[in-house]
Amino acid sequence: MFVKLVLVPLGVGIALAAKYSGTKGVCFALYGDGAANQGQVFEVYNIAKLWNIPCIFVCENNGYGMGTSSERASASVDYYTRGDYIPGIWVDGMDILAVREAARFAVNHCRSDKGPILLETATYRYSGHSMSDPGTSYRTRDEIQEVRQTRDPISSLKDKILNASLVTPEELKKIDTEVKAEIDAVIKKARADPEVGLDELTGDIYAVPLETDIRGTTPFNSYPHKRVGKAINL
């Protein structure tokens, strides 16, 4: 929850950069129903609307924060209305096509210089919130199983494309077999690789880094801001 919450103000900053540079870019800032109650979310709602920043706020409402149901944590669970002066849309987050269309609408809204928009996607979390959360102490296994059987997005889309004759069962089975084989191969390779040394703990995590000088990887490096300070005799 904390990580997603931090990304909400950053998302507005990225969207502001897109507006400032005139790229017509937009930014999706995602957060959960638990983080929706935090103050900085409302602060960036305000600045985003005040400056008509092209940011799409997406509240992933899965019904539970860190072990607490949304009803116990929120006075109002209509998260799409939380923006007040920002238009909001409720969308079934378990329906892939509905999410696609809502996202398309939101992007067009922002690119039309209408400012930010808020999407509440009603979804569900099958597993626990983290390794310390089994995910069954605040809900029943029967509830989880019912959602899997009635609202699972993959199964739902599979039924739709089969009923529309867009694909055959054989084609889907072939795709499943190929994907499973690819995943098994990657897992086998990952398990065979040696552990990364501690010297790489703060290193670059990208395969093709855009910046080769990563601040913080070597604590004794002299960084550009120090050289600039010296240049102007600070």
Domain boundaries, the chain: 6-131, 197-233
* Greatest CA separation for the chain: 73
Q: How far apart are CA 145 and CA 61, in angstroms?
A: 18
Q: Decide which of 3.30.1310.10, 3.90.25.10, 3.40.50.300, 3.40.50.970 is the CATH code for 6-131.
A: 3.40.50.970
Q: How far apart are CA 127 and CA 76, in angstroms?
A: 25
Q: How far does Cα 187 stand from its chain's mean position?
A: 24
CB 84 within 8 A of CB 50: no
CB 87 within 8 A of CB 148: no
Residue 232: predicted pLDDT: 40
Residue 221: predicted pLDDT: 56
Residue 65: predicted pLDDT: 84
In 3-state terms, the chain is what percent helix, strand and coil (to 5)?
A: 50, 10, 40
Tokens of 117: 């928009």
- Say whether pTM exceeds 0.85: no
Residue 130: predicted pLDDT: 79
Q: How far does Cα 46 stand from its chain's mean position?
A: 21
Amino acid making up residue 106: A
Residue 132: predicted pLDDT: 81
Q: What is the mean pLDDT of each run of 10 residues along the chain (234 residues)?
A: 63 95 94 92 96 96 88 93 94 96 97 96 90 84 93 95 95 96 96 84 68 62 47 39
> CA dihedral defined by 12, 15, 17, 23, rounded to 10 degrees?
180
Residue 134: predicted pLDDT: 81
Residue 1: predicted pLDDT: 36
CB 36 within 8 A of CB 66: no
